């Protein structure tokens, strides 16, 4: 075949045409010659022919049949070919052209073609062009059903016919897998792609194994069952010496965990946790916690798994693991005796794992009575005395291995046991010793507990009773009421997030209406001691907004007597900031006379007043409820509301039963902040059961002594 004319000759010939018909005839004749050259795969003059096509395209004549030739020029090693190829691709290719069938034909020819010395690499014909075509097919088929359907067959042929003994073939297979996963391919083709990645995991080349793990991790969410077939191979990669491969294998293993394989996978992952490098332990422990929480087959298995993690890698677990495990234990009511026994035995074996010691201390403080009584039914109970338990906790306080936070947990546990053990005098001595500790946080905690023993002993059982069952939320719990300018944050009162300890919505609305408008500060009543709700919150939340020292409540951080399990806690100052230098309250005889706030149906409510020394704007009101009838008043609840210019907080009552015939009283402390020195007025709501009938009454109190608010 003679050599085609040059571009400049074509231009000169076309310019000699006198009519448009004559020009069109010249163009058609040249296009026919170019087509013949393309069909004969003439590589010598391909660049010249494409250049002439571009000139014809500029004149307005069709030149779309040269699109694939542009791609071939792009794949050429010559700079001049690439330059014309990219220029042609820019001018001749657009979204309206269907390239997929032509690309499929080219790829098929490459697969079926025989040996070609100039393009062969390790027995594979032009692998670089195959890779480029596969990438282009991936772009064209993404989100396009028709294009994806057109390329399914050729992708299957590439996946099954490509030799895998060399890296060249593996590169083509990898691009094939990526294309299959990105387009809307058939399910059988996707399974074939995942099986290819599974074979990659058995390759001796570490890079290929890493690429396979990374690709499987990307596809596990969409093709979970197909990836599950290679679970054993993936788990074996946890034993690989390469750090990157082990990390990818660990991440993929956690992604494969489900309810059906949770036991087997956790066994492998716990073994990996025990033997892996320290850099992996934190991530592995967190992954085990999350998987166990989501797929645990039973409460006991869940607790055993978490305890295994704490004993294996306790020092590496993240900070939120301790409150999360505490919440799990709290909510597993039937497992309390088993859990406290297991933790106590773990504490005797090893106290170096601080998270384990913290959880064990908290659990012993909550359920120490179950430990001593030997009520465990899950395994053989152990015989432990009260003194032995206290010896262990006191040992934690003096151990050099204990962190300051751990000592706080231990001291709090000892304090809780004052309501569960009979060794109250020993506990008082321990608490009083740490009132002069050089650890400021431990000292403050001990001073607060000493005050409970001395001035608020009647409230101690309510403050230190067991934690209720809690829902896991994003906040510290509904008891933290944040008040700004006297108005309660409405987000805290969202009843859909509140556990059962909060009053029903209708009662809250009643409180909002007590003063006949929107200018009131509602107060959520803290639960009475005989209900599961009062266990937690007084030391944590009641005084969070009315700090007597004027300092932000969040300055004191650490474990608290009743830590909320879902988050890391910030403990506000208790009633005792500055206690060492001055008394907490002025004496009642400071000139504020008591008053009768309510006297009806046999129940009498009296108010006595005190002043808080550090902040004279705070009035401390103690209510005394007595019952002159012949029958006890049970389920007694006192609620109060004040205008929004005030801030009001209620502490837990001493009881929810008002004894008959004035044989006793129920006391409860109210704190009122009155920065503007306005006249105090309050509306109260009483709810109780008398002789089997529920009683509810509202009253307004406006006759407060001037000394109480001036």
pLDDT digits (tens, 9 = 90+) for 652-676: 898 889 999 988 889 999 988 888 8
Instruction: Return the domain boundaries, the chain.
Output: 7-98, 333-465, 595-708
Q: Whole-angstrom Cα distance, residue 300 to residue 142?
A: 47
Residue 257 CA, chain-centre distance (Å), reads: 18
The helix or strand, by DSSP H or E, that contains position 89, with its residue range, turns out to be: helix 79-92
pLDDT of residue 349: 87
Q: Whole-angstrom Cα distance, residue 336 to residue 369?
A: 11
Quote the strand ranges of 198-245, DSSP E. Answer: none
Q: What is the mean pLDDT of the chain?
A: 80
This prediction has a pTM of 0.56
Q: The tokens of 363 are what? A: 């659990």
Contact between 314 and 354 under an 8 Å Cβ cutoff? The reply is yes
Q: Whole-angstrom Cα distance, residue 332 to residue 236?
A: 35
pLDDT of residue 213: 94
HSE of 221 in the Cβ direction (CA atoms, 13 Å)? 3
Q: Are strands 487-488 and 483-484 parallel, antiparallel or unpaired?
A: antiparallel
pLDDT in tens, 190-217: 999 999 999 999 999 999 999 999 999 9
Please state, for a pLDDT cut of 90, what percent of the chain lies above it.
Answer: 34
With CA atoms as reference, report the closest residue to 347 among 391, 287, 405, 295. Answer: 391
Exposure string of 102-130, with b = 16+ CB inside 10 Å and e = fewer, is ebbebbeebbeeeeeeeeeeeebbbbebb
Of the candidate ranges 118-132, 171-185, 256-270, 690-704, the one whose mean pLDDT is the lowest: 118-132
If pLDDT is split at 50, 70 and 90, which confidence band does 542 have?
very low
pLDDT of residue 123: 80
Q: The tokens of 348 are what? A: 């005797």
If you average pLDDT over residues 417-434, what whole number do you get?
90
If pLDDT is split at 50, 70 and 90, which confidence band does 611 have?
confident
DSSP 8-state assignment for residue 261:
T
Q: What is the dihedral of CA 48, 53, 56, 57, to 10 degrees?
A: -140
If you average pLDDT over residues 490-501, what whole number do you get?
35
The helix or strand, by DSSP H or E, that contains position 98, with its residue range, turns out to be: none
If pLDDT is split at 50, 70 and 90, which confidence band does 393 have?
very high
Residue 108's φ and ψ, nearest 5 degrees, are -65, -40
Contact between 176 and 156 under an 8 Å Cβ cutoff? The reply is no
Residue 601 backbone zone (phi > 0: left; psi -120 to 50: alpha; other: beta): left
If pLDDT is split at 50, 70 and 90, which confidence band does 71 have?
confident
The helix or strand, by DSSP H or E, that contains position 440, with its residue range, turns out to be: helix 440-455
The helix or strand, by DSSP H or E, that contains position 284, with its residue range, turns out to be: helix 278-295
pLDDT of residue 196: 93
Written in H, E and C, the secondary structure of 23-69 is HHHHHHHHHHHHHHHHHCCCCCCHHHHHHHHHHHHHHCCCCHHHHHH
Contact between 670 and 660 under an 8 Å Cβ cutoff? The reply is no
- At residue 480, does pLDDT exceed 80? no
Most confident range (mean pLDDT) of 101-115, 449-463, 563-577 is 449-463
If pLDDT is split at 50, 70 and 90, which confidence band does 615 have?
confident
Residues 6+ apart with CB under 8 A from 249: 213, 234, 235, 237, 238, 240
Helix (H, G, I), strand (E, B) or coil at 6: coil
With CA atoms as reference, report the closest residue to 216 among 185, 256, 172. Answer: 256
Q: Regarding predicted confidence, which is higher, 559 or 468?
A: 468
The helix or strand, by DSSP H or E, that contains position 206, with its residue range, turns out to be: helix 206-219
Crossing angle of the two packed helices 187-200 and 206-219, in degrees rounded to 10 = 150
CATH superfamily of 595-708: Gamma-adaptin ear (GAE) domain (2.60.40.1230)
Written in H, E and C, the secondary structure of 163-194 is CCCCHHHHHHHHHHHHHHHHCCCCHHHHHHHH
Q: Whole-angstrom Cα distance, residue 514 to residue 653?
A: 21
If you average pLDDT over residues 333-351, what whole number do you get?
88
If pLDDT is split at 50, 70 and 90, which confidence band does 544 have?
very low
If pLDDT is split at 50, 70 and 90, which confidence band does 473 have?
low
Q: Whole-angstrom Cα distance, residue 54 to residue 67?
A: 10
Contact between 435 and 447 under an 8 Å Cβ cutoff? The reply is yes
DSSP 8-state assignment for residue 2:
P
């Amino acid at each position: 075949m003679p050599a085609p004319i040059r571009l400049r000759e074509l231009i000169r010939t076309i310019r000699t045409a006198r009519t448009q018909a004559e020009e069109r005839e010249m163009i058609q004749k040249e296009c026919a010659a170019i087509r013949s050259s393309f069909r004969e795969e003439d590589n010598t003059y391909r660049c010249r022919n494409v250049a002439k096509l571009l000139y014809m395209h500029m004149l307005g004549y069709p030149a779309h049949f040269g699109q694939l030739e542009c791609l071939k020029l792009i794949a050429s090693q010559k700079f001049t070919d690439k330059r014309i190829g990219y220029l042609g691709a820019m001018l001749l290719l657009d979204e309206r052209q269907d390239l997929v069938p032509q690309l499929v034909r080219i790829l098929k020819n490459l697969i079926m073609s025989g040996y070609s010395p100039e393009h062969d690499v390790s027995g594979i014909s032009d692998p670089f062009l195959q890779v480029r075509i596969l990438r282009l097919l991936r772009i064209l088929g993404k989100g396009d059903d028709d294009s994806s359907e057109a390329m399914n067959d050729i992708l299957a042929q590439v996946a099954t016919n490509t030799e895998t003994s060399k890296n060249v073939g593996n590169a083509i297979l990898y691009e094939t897998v990526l294309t299959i996963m990105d387009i809307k391919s058939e399910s059988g083709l996707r399974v074939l792609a995942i099986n290819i990645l599974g074979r990659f995991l058995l390759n001796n080349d570490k890079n290929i194994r890493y690429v396979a793990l990374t690709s499987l991790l990307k596809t596990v969410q969409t093709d979970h069952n197909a990836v599950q077939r290679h679970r054993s191979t993936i788990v074996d990669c946890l034993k690989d010496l390469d750090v990157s491969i082990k990390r990818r294998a660990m991440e993929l293993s956690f992604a494969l965990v489900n309810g059906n394989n949770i036991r087997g996978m956790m066994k492998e992952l716990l073994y990996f946790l025990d033997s892996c490098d320290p850099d992996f332990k934190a991530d592995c422990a967190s992954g085990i916690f999350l998987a166990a929480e989501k797929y645990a087959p039973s409460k006991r298995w869940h607790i055993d798994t978490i305890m295994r993690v704490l004993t294996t890698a306790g020092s590496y677990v993240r900070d939120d693991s301790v409150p999360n495990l505490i919440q799990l234990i709290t909510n597993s009511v039937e497992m309390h005796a088993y859990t406290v026994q297991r933790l106590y035995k773990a504490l005797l074996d090893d106290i170096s794992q601080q998270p384990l010691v913290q959880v064990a201390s908290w659990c012993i403080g909550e359920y120490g009575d179950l430990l001593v009584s030997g009520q465990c039914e899950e395994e053989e109970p152990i015989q432990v005395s009260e003194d032995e338990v206290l010896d262990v906790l006191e040992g934690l306080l003096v151990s050099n291995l204990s962190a300051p936070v751990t000592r706080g947990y231990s001291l709090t546990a000892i304090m809780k046991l004052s309501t569960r053990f009979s060794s109250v005098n020993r506990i008082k001595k321990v608490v009083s010793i740490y009132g002069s500790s050089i650890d400021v946080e431990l000292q403050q905690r001990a001073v607060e507990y000493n005050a409970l023993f001395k001035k608020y002993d009647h409230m101690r059982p309510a403050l230190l009773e067991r934690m209720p069952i809690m829902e896991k939320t994003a906040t510290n719990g509904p008891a933290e009421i944040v008040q700004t300018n006297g108005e309660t944050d409405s987000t805290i009162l969202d009843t859909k997030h509140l556990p059962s300890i909060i009053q029903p919505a209708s009662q809250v609305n009643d409180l909002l209406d007590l003063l006949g408008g929107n200018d009131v500060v509602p107060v959520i009543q803290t639960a009475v001691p005989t209900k599961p709700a009062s266990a937690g919150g007084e030391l944590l939340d009641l005084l969070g907004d009315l700090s007597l020292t004027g300092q932000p409540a969040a300055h004191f951080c650490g474990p608290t007597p009743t830590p909320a399990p879902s988050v890391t806690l910030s403990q506000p100052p208790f009633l005792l900031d500055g206690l060492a230098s001055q008394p907490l309250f002025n004496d009642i005889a400071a000139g504020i006379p008591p008053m009768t706030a309510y006297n009806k149906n046999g129940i009498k409510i009296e108010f006595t007043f005190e002043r808080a020394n550090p902040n004279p704007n705070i009035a401390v009101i103690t209510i005394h409820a007595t019952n002159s009838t012949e029958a006890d008043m049970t389920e007694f609840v006192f609620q109060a509301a004040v205008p929004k210019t005030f801030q009001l907080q209620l502490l837990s009552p001493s009881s929810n039963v008002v004894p008959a015939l004035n044989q006793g009283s129920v006391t409860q402390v109210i704190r009122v902040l009155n920065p503007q020195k306005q006249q105090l007025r309050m509306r109260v709501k009483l709810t109780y059961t008398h002789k089997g009938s529920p009683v509810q009454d509202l009253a307004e109190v406006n006759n407060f002594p001037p000394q109480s608010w001036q």
